[in-house]
Amino acid sequence: MLIWIPIGLASGWLLRRLGVGGEGLPSLLAAWALRVALPATVLKVLADLPLARLLHPAVWLPWILLLPLALLVKGLLARLAFLNPDQRRLLLLLGILGNTSFLGLPLLQAVMGEAALAPALLYDQFGSFPQLLLLGTLILEQRAQGAQKRGSAALRRLLAFPPLPALLLALSPWGLPLKNLLMPLLGQVSWTLVPVVMLSLGGRLQLKLDAGDRPALALGLAVKMLLAPVLLLALVWLLGLRHTDLPVVLLESAMPPMATAAAWAADRHCAPALAAALVSVGIGLALLWIPLLAWLLPRVLP
């Protein structure tokens, strides 16, 4: 299945080059994935999840990682004189937040099989997305409005995020009966997640970058895809953790910069070309890096 990821990316890029569907096609595809396919996948995979799984390492390890990673990245960025303020803000955001949903779910499914979806979804839903709202609000929302108003805006975004109601429904007493009732439909709709996401991301690929942004690009990818998983692995060793799903958690931490966070940064005019390049180049690197890391992890985990 891994071969279909680069094929989907290339197909999306080709559709954009040919002008098929216009400039809005990647956004339409992303809307389907976000509002339909991903909620269906959440309900399909997590509907019979015991509430005890909320103690799963995929839920709390991203938050254990957040503070030391943020402090380390912020300290590193402050020492680099070649970065401008927008580049620093962007790298602080995208050096922490990974593409754990749109790329992470299909890539982990391809590399590690169907069993990786449940812990990957836990990491994404309880780690990545709340952290996106927290960090995006703190780093990007610098307009003249009070902290309470910014917090209210973040809460509204969270409640309006389509997979969240699906997650709450999946964890409710009605989740499993609804899953059993809709399973044929859920199966077919969730199947579209991988090809639609790959087409959408391929339609957004941007490989041209100004020379002044290239050092920031290399730095951002190194921080997100190498420093983050190394730091998390060190925390796992320090805490003496042992769990069968730890490889999935570590692979999610090594995913390239988050596409949604990059889109938010571009909307706030925060180094938009660099944001697009971090996502685009990161996707290409992840197709090689994540399978390699999946092979390495059993040899280094406690």
Q: Could you read off the pLDDT tens digit of each residue along the chain, which spans 302 residues?
A: 567 778 888 898 899 889 888 888 888 888 888 788 888 888 887 787 776 677 899 999 999 999 999 999 999 999 998 999 999 999 999 999 999 987 898 899 889 998 999 899 999 988 898 888 788 878 886 543 444 555 566 566 666 667 778 878 887 888 888 888 888 898 899 888 878 877 887 887 776 778 888 999 999 999 999 999 999 999 999 999 999 999 999 999 999 999 878 877 877 788 888 888 898 899 889 999 999 999 999 988 87
pLDDT of residue 144: 37
pLDDT of residue 228: 96
Identify which of 272, 246, 251 has the alpha carbon closest to the alpha carbon of residue 261.
272
Q: Which pair of tokens denotes residue 83?
A: 């970065």
CB 271 within 8 A of CB 263: no
pLDDT of residue 210: 80
- Class for domain 4-297, per CATH? mainly alpha
Running DSSP on this structure, what letter comes out for residue 172?
Answer: S
The Cβ of residue 63 has, within 10 Å, a number of other Cβ atoms equal to 12
Q: Which SS3 state, helix, strand or coil, does residue 272 take?
A: helix
Distance CA 4, CA 107 (A): 10
Segment 272-286, tens digit of pLDDT: 888 888 988 998 899
Residues in CB range of 113: below 8 A, 6 or more apart: none
Distance CA 8, CA 152 (A): 37
Q: Which pair of tokens denotes residue 246?
A: 């730890």
State the sign of the Cα–Cα–Cα–Cα dihedral 268, 269, 273, 275: negative
Q: Which SS3 state, helix, strand or coil, does residue 257 take?
A: strand
Q: Which SS3 state, helix, strand or coil, does residue 21 take?
A: coil
pLDDT of residue 125: 84
Distance CA 271, CA 259 (A): 14
pLDDT of residue 255: 97
The Cβ of residue 238 has, within 10 Å, a number of other Cβ atoms equal to 9
pLDDT of residue 38: 81
Burial class (CB in 10 A: 0-12, 13-18, 19+), 85: exposed
What average pLDDT does the structure give for the chain?
A: 85
Distance CA 223, CA 219 (A): 6
Buried b / exposed e over 247-283, threshold 16 CB at 10 Å, is bbbbbbbbbbbbbbbbbbbbebebbbebbbbbbbbbb
- Residue whose pair of structure tokens reads 């994540």 in the numeric block: 290
Distance CA 242, CA 122 (A): 18
Distance CA 63, CA 66 (A): 5
User: How do the domains of the chain map onto residue ranges?
Assistant: 4-297
